[in-house]
Amino acid sequence: MLKTKKSFFERVTGATSIEPDGHQNPTMPIYAEEEETEMVMNSQPGRSIFVEEENFSPDAEGQLTIDVYQTEGEIVIKSTIAGVKPEDLDVSINNDMVVIKGERKNEEIVNPENYYYQECYWGHFSRSVVLPIDIISDKAEASLKNGILTIRLPKADTTKIKRIQVRGF
């Protein structure tokens, strides 16, 4: 029997090809989105548990998913941050970059063996966004409502010409 590399579709969906003899491999590699770190899905009757192999670091940070768009007068950054209190968020603006940091705390301790699925990320997270244009950082605003973080960054008017007076001594 020849080994064949899984197609992109098989890796994304977790589907497996069934061999002509009807035999199916009980464990299949699953790949993380950011790095090609291999994960194995162990199948037991009635249960599926995803376990990341050896490359997991307890100090690893999660990365937020974001939407960044512009309106006529501002750049807007939105992110779903359910379960995080405003005081657990840190938003900083440095030159042309916005950095969002925080921590999502799981208040319930569950034995890993009792999970059927564990897809939610608990722990520290961060995201850096390079801004496409100049903004006025002093007038930036951030709000958290219904689990959605919204950051509004007013655009700097770069087309306006500012004249300064030259003083002589």
Q: What average pLDDT values come out for the chain (169 residues) when binned by 10 residues?
A: 61 63 52 49 46 50 89 94 90 91 88 86 89 91 94 86 81
- Contact between 61 and 123 (Cβ < 8 Å): yes
Q: Which strands make up the sheet holding 38-44, listed edge to edge?
A: 27-31, 38-44, 47-52
pTM of the model: 0.59
Q: What angle do CA 143, 149, 154 make, to 5 degrees?
A: 60
Query: Does the domain made of 62-154 have the CATH classification 2.60.40.790?
Result: yes
Q: What is the pLDDT of residue 58?
A: 57
User: Domain spans of the chain?
Assistant: 8-52, 62-154
